[in-house]
Amino acid sequence: MNTLQLTSLLFRVAIFSMTISACNSPVLLKWNPESFSDNSDVEIICDASEGNKDLLNYPGDVFVHLGVITNKSKNKDDWQYVKFKWGSREPEAKTIPAGKNKWKYKIKNIRNFFQVPNDEQIKSIAVLFRSGACIDIYCKVLRNSDGSNMYIPVNYEAAVTNK
């Protein structure tokens, strides 16, 4: 084997190793199905060992704070149709434990859940997972590592095609 062949082989092994590593790496937020339209059901799963880790080893109940970003939002942080009052412990906002430092929440028919009119395009779901003991800003909140909100893209093309 010459130097060029050896270099090529080592490069392919390195790329393969990085791919396998990336596929097995924990992620802050995942959803099922991976691609969905505005009238689909979606299950959202968070992992508090990622992101800002604010809920890492949190022993209490965890709740979601949800809204959507639409074509009428002024910017990416302009949440519309927010589902639950911040800090509330509404039973409908309570998540289900999904393993150590993981919680999940299921939304049935996104458009109906948020009560978004049909003439408005849903671009993404805005989501935060938080502790139940919230008073104003004094709350444990799982966010991206830079402190920003988390968003899940909604496949608008699929929604238009399915209507």
Per residue in 48-105, pLDDT tens? 999 999 999 999 999 999 999 999 999 999 999 999 988 889 999 999 999 999 999 9
pLDDT tens track for 1-21: 655 444 433 333 333 333 333
CATH number of 27-162: 2.60.40
Local structure of 125: helix, strand or coil: strand
Name the CA dihedral angle for 25, 29, 32, 34, rounded to a multiple of 10 degrees: -80
Q: Tell me the residue type at 127.
A: V
DSSP state of 33: S
Per-residue model confidence (pLDDT) at position 57: 97
CA pair distance 52, 151, nearest whole angstrom: 15
pLDDT tens track for 110-138: 999 999 999 999 999 999 999 987 776 78
pTM for this prediction: 0.80
Per-residue model confidence (pLDDT) at position 17: 36
The domain locations on the chain are 27-162
Give the whole-number percent of the chain exceeding pLDDT 70.
79
Taking Cα atoms as reference points, which of 79, 153, 157, 63 lies closest to residue 116?
Answer: 79
Distance of CA 53 to the CA centre of its chain: 14
